[in-house]
Amino acid sequence: MATTAIPSETSPRAAAWPRVLLVIGRVALGAVFLIAAYTKLHFNGSWHFGDYHFFFAMAIDSYNMLPLWAVEIMARTLPILEALIGALLILGIGVRWVAAFTSALLLVFIGAMTRALILHIQIKCGCFGNDEPLTIWTLLRDSTLLVLSLAVTIGAFLVKKRDTASA
């Protein structure tokens, strides 16, 4: 008995491009987070594994938003978290949840930066190293990253949904 293939609604090439875009998006976002972690751990020409948190704590504290104990916890953990996010996004592990968490994190950063700019607090951003001043441009850059992060999050959920449906 002869069998006939069921024609798909979309061509294989058309079906592949969202996946390709998702890979490009998550790798780009992951690379940005890896660079952000690197600049917090490596500055003034050397690695600062032992004392990076002192410098980063000073940058976080300049936002005048958190109590000192929270500043210290954040300073110690955030660069490690950024490195982990970067690695997971590049490797494609848990992309949906990692990207969603990244979006939430970026939203918090943008909120803190917007508040500092509104209050005219002249501080360092603390985004990429300790020496970058906080300006409207750093806010725009992080907003662009948030758009990318949201696109990766939505894309990852849609691809997963389609994969589940086709299975």
Partner 1 sequence: MKSLPVRRFKFLAFVAVSALATATLAQQQAKPSTPAAAKAAPAASAPPNFQKTMGNPSAPITMEVFGDFQCPACRAFFESTTKQVIDDYVIPGKVYLVHRDFPLDMHPYARQAARLANAAANFGQFEQIERALYDHQDEWSAKGNIADVIKASFPPAEFNKFLAFANQHMDEINASIERDRAMGTQRNVNQTPTVYITAHGKTEALPGGGVDYKLLKSYFDYLLRQ
Other CB atoms within 10 A of residue 61 CB: 19
User: Which residue lies nearer to partner 1 by CB, 43 or 101?
Assistant: 43
**Closest of 150, 127, 135, 143 to residue 59, by C-alpha:** 127
User: Which residue lies nearer to partner 1 by CB, 80 or 132?
Assistant: 132
Alpha carbon distance 39, 33 (integer Å): 10
**Contact residues for 155 (Cβ-Cβ < 8 A; gap 6+):** 18, 21, 22, 25
| In the complex, minimum distance from the CB of residue 64 to partner 1, in angstroms, rounded to a whole number | 10
User: Which residue lies nearer to partner 1 by CB, 7 or 50?
Assistant: 50
Alpha carbon distance 167, 163 (integer Å): 6
User: Which residue lies nearer to partner 1 by CB, 55 or 109?
Assistant: 55
Alpha carbon distance 61, 53 (integer Å): 12
| In the complex, minimum distance from the CB of residue 118 to partner 1, in angstroms, rounded to a whole number | 16
| In the complex, minimum distance from the CB of residue 123 to partner 1, in angstroms, rounded to a whole number | 5
Residue pair 110/143 in contact (Cβ under 8 Å)? The answer is yes
| In the complex, minimum distance from the CB of residue 68 to partner 1, in angstroms, rounded to a whole number | 6
Alpha carbon distance 150, 83 (integer Å): 19
| In the complex, minimum distance from the CB of residue 32 to partner 1, in angstroms, rounded to a whole number | 21
User: Which residue lies nearer to partner 1 by CB, 113 or 156?
Assistant: 113
Site residues, partner 1 (CB under 8 A): 44, 46, 50-51, 54-55, 57-59, 61-62, 68, 71, 121-124, 126, 130-131, 133
